[in-house]
Amino acid sequence: MPVIKLFANLRKFAGAKELSVMGSTVGGVLGALVGQNLQLRAAILVDGIPGPHVIITLNGHNIVDLNTAIDEQDVIAIFPPIAGGQGE
Amino acid sequence: MAGWLEKVLEIDLSTHTYKIYPLDMEMARLFIGGRGIGARLLWDMVGPNVDPLSPENVLIFTNGPLTGTGYQTSNRFSVTTKSPLTGTVLDANSGGFWGMQFKKTGYDAMIVRGKSEKPVWIEIKNGAVTFHDASELWGMRVFALTKKLGQDNNKRNVLCIGPAGENLSRVAAIMNDRERAMARGGPGAVMGSKNLKAIVVEGRERPVIEDPERFKFLLYETRKLLAASPLTSQALPEFGTVVLMNIMNNIGALATRNHQQTQFEGAEAISGEELTEKYLVKNAACWACPIGCTRISKTEKVEGEGPEFESTWAFGAQCGIDDLPAIIEANALCNDLGLDTISVGSTIACAMELSEKGYMDSDLRFGLADMLAPTIEAIASRKDIGAELADGSLRLATKYGHPELSMTAKGLEMPAYDPRGLQGQGLLYATSNRGGCHMRGNMIGLEVLGLPKLIDRFQVQGKSAFVILNQNSNAAIDSLVVCKFTNMGVADEYFARVLSAVTGIQYATTELIKAGERVWNLERLYNNREGFTTKDDTLPPRLLNEAPVDGPSQGWVSKLDPMLKEYYRTRGWDENGVPTKQKLTELGLADLV
């Protein structure tokens, strides 16, 4: 099964750093991940799509199309809004 | 005029005298304050024949028209000088409390010239300047000195150098309010070369605000915007800047082991999540900042501010070290000794690679966390191996016949983001006026974080326009002076409105950004006058020729050449990277050349 890696406060909401979730597209896996977890859903999705500044990567490459197909060995990473890099 | 205090303080350390004269208000209108006024003053005062560590170099401390007004993050100030590390124009800015207090002493700018015969510290109290003997303070570390001179965040603030600055390390920082740093490019060495140990400020003046009602409204609006943004209200306070570690590693753009790789297997162990879970004590904030990104962390040996992402990376991934307590302690040690964490970490990494490859005889090896603290101590004291590392990685690598192993642009050590996986970031480093730096405009927002929108990080064509926009905007923000994190919740338009409300001069957003462009072009002219040319707008050969063999950036090198050509054209510069007469006329700079 594809592995989903979670970061920042998503770990607290999911109770895990990473999970294996069934699905054949990024969107399918995402739907299965948030399932009934309302905190996780609220942190990732807005009106059923990833919220502003939520970053989803597939094997390290940014994903904007949730219909992107995935296979068993793929790794999806999900980051909630994060910031930095402008401190002196 | 409102906003500015219209006064410049000029101190001559050679004679222990000072004079006060009016600020040129036409210059203030065009260059605003902070970095902008600093660059304009430096242009007149320090030419190409001046050794940065000679008495003829100057330190120009500047605040801006927003400093001390109470506008969100209006705590920052700048120092401008000729860099002893790079030979370029240098400005570094810092937050905390000192900038606000400096404004309260009644000056927009303070120019420090000459060299004191003996160590000295300066006290500026309600506008008057007193010179104190610092012979007994010479050698003191930053934390103890800051306390001894009476640091009291809202009343009396201390800026100083540590032993690294005294020993003229070209990677020495100027520290303020104990743990805030004006770090990059070695301004601490300039202060040390003048025998100036500290500047303590205490004041009561308040800047006049031209339109208080409009200002109050904008203060309210900004508060709402910062509270509404998940970045400034949640992401930065909750995990701090170190939260970038995992994402940079995930996308294969985390420079590792002196940029030999782009992913670090130990990234999780030194991540923001790990820092928060195991070492975070509490958050802290600079004056008038509702964001509060500062982290107070604690190990068995130290408790203090930081480390920020770049510092954690420099002692972590760049040195192949995944021992977070050792990294926290290395960061605290640099603060106490007055050193730039990025340059120190990357210089140690360079020495590690030189040693592993047999070019240099030392015990330094990637992954050896126990080597960090003694090496940092040696750098600050210029003893043993520190004598070779104290002047940065380019001088070190050149000495051993391998300058290509210095991960610098124009001699300044680059931060964490590997340009092979971030094409725009590479262009940014190569064209930065103070050398390899992420603070002159950062492409991470656009290329990684989707701020405001995500663009393709591997795309080459068209990148220059984004880089230029960021550079101009950052130069304007550095001239106000406010914190760039504010810009994550508040658009440039708001800064123009606040500047107008404070000063009474109506700045459209385009005029504010044009002021940033003016500053950028002036800095470029300065570097051109110093002899820098297009050949200096480059990156280490490793980043141009050696593609990562695995990870998401596999197969990519920085495609700098086509981006650079496009950049010069878009800037309105000629093919040699020199601003054209037309561009300089448009910016009101034609009379300078």
A8-42: pLDDT as tens digits: 999 999 999 999 999 999 999 999 999 989 999 99
CATH code, B459:
1.10.599.10
B183 and B274 assigned to the same domain = no
Helix (H, G, I), strand (E, B) or coil at B385: coil
B460 and B531 assigned to the same domain = yes
Query: Using a CB-CB distance cutoff of 8 angstroms, which residues of chain B are in contact with residue A61?
Result: 251, 552
- Contact predicate A1/A21, CB 8 Å: yes
Rounded-to-integer distance, Cα A41 and Cα A48, Å:
9
Chain A nearest C-alpha distance from B362 (Å): 31
Contact check, Cβ <8 Å, B552/A53: no
- Which chain B residues in 401-420 lie under 8 Å from chain A, judged by CB atoms? 417
B172 and B34 assigned to the same domain = yes
Number of C-beta neighbours around residue A67 at 10 A: 10
Q: Which residue among B232, B234, B308 sits closest to A87, beta carbon to beta carbon?
A: B308
The string of DSSP letters for B487-541 reads: GGTS-HHHHHHHHHHHHSS---HHHHHHHHHHHHHHHHHHHHHTT--GGGS---H
For residue B100 the two structure tokens come to 């606000």
Backbone angles phi, psi at B542, to 5 degrees: -55, -40
Residue A68 in domain: yes
B457 and B534 assigned to the same domain = yes
Q: Which domain holds residue A46?
A: 3-79
* pLDDT confidence band for B243 (50 / 70 / 90): very high
- Contact predicate B128/B28, CB 8 Å: no
Termini Cα distance of chain A:
42
Query: Using a CB-CB distance cutoff of 8 angstroms, which residues of chain B are in contact with residue A16?
Result: none
Query: Using a CB-CB distance cutoff of 8 angstroms, which residues of chain A are in contact with residue B439?
Result: 86, 88
Residue B571 in domain: yes
* pLDDT confidence band for B1 (50 / 70 / 90): confident
pLDDT given for residue B452 in this prediction: 87
Residue B502 in domain: no
Residue A9 in domain: yes
Instruction: Check whether A85 has a pLDDT greater than 70.
Output: no
The arithmetic mean of pLDDT across residues B348-362, rounded, is 98
Residue B217 in domain: no
* pLDDT confidence band for B111 (50 / 70 / 90): very high
- pLDDT tens track for B580-591: 999 999 999 999
- Domains contained in chain A, number: 1
Q: Which domain holds residue B69?
A: 7-202
Rounded-to-integer distance, Cα B157 and Cα B152, Å:
6
- pLDDT tens track for B178-227: 999 999 999 999 999 999 999 999 999 989 999 999 999 999 999 999 99
Residues 6+ apart with CB under 8 A from A62: A55, A56, B251, B454, B457
Instruction: Check whether A45 has a pLDDT greater than 50.
Output: yes
CATH code, B283:
1.10.569.10
* pLDDT confidence band for B80 (50 / 70 / 90): very high
Best CA proximity match to B282, nearest among B262, B264, B297: B297
* pLDDT confidence band for A86 (50 / 70 / 90): low
Residue B459 in domain: yes
Catalogue the E-assigned strands of chain A. 3-6, 18-20, 45-46, 49-50, 55-58, 61-62, 75-79
Contact check, Cβ <8 Å, B250/A87: no
Query: Using a CB-CB distance cutoff of 8 angstroms, which residues of chain B are in contact with residue A8?
Result: 235, 238-239, 243, 272-273
Number of C-beta neighbours around residue B140 at 10 A: 20
B401 and B434 assigned to the same domain = no
B188 and B62 assigned to the same domain = yes
Instruction: Check whether A87 has a pLDDT greater than 60.
Output: no
Contact check, Cβ <8 Å, B231/A81: yes
Q: Which residue among A59, A83, A85 sits closest to B552, beta carbon to beta carbon?
A: A59
Residue A84 in domain: no
Residue A86 in domain: no
C-alpha B312 chain-centroid distance: 16
In three state form, how does the secondary structure of B409-434 look?
ECCEECCCECCCCCHHHHHHHHHCCC
B154 and B96 assigned to the same domain = yes
Q: Residue written as tokens 């700098």?
A: B560
B278 and B399 assigned to the same domain = yes
CATH code, A32:
3.10.20.30
Contact check, Cβ <8 Å, A60/B95: no
Q: Which residue among A59, A79, A84 sits closest to B309, beta carbon to beta carbon?
A: A84
CATH code, B74:
3.60.9.10
Chain B nearest C-alpha distance from A25 (Å): 20
In three state form, how does the secondary structure of B89-158 look?
EEEEEECCCHHHHHHHCCCCEEEEECCCCCCEEEEEECCEEEEEECCCCCCCCHHHHHHHCCCECCCEEE
Best CA proximity match to B513, nearest among B441, B569, B446, B462: B441
Best CA proximity match to B516, nearest among B564, B482, B554: B482
* pLDDT confidence band for B397 (50 / 70 / 90): very high
Per cent of chain A over pLDDT 90 is 83
The residue in chain B having the minimum alpha-carbon distance to the alpha carbon of residue A80 is B235
- Domains contained in chain B, number: 3
B553 and B435 assigned to the same domain = yes
Query: Using a CB-CB distance cutoff of 8 angstroms, which residues of chain B are in contact with residue A76?
Result: none
Residue B576 in domain: yes
B87 and B21 assigned to the same domain = yes
- Ramachandran category for residue B185: left, alpha or beta (phi over 0 → left; psi -120 to 50 → alpha): left
Residues 6+ apart with CB under 8 A from B491: none
Beta bridge partners of B121: B132, B198
Q: Which residue among B94, B451, B552 sits closest to A53, beta carbon to beta carbon?
A: B451
Longest dimension (CA), chain A: 43
pLDDT given for residue A64 in this prediction: 83
Helix (H, G, I), strand (E, B) or coil at B301: coil
B441 and B565 assigned to the same domain = yes
In three state form, how does the secondary structure of B428-488 look?
HHHHCCCCCCCCCCCCHHHHHHCCCCCCCCCCCCCHHHHHHHHHHHHHHHHHHCCCHHHHH
The arithmetic mean of pLDDT across residues B415-436, rounded, is 98
B198 and B55 assigned to the same domain = yes
pLDDT given for residue A88 in this prediction: 46
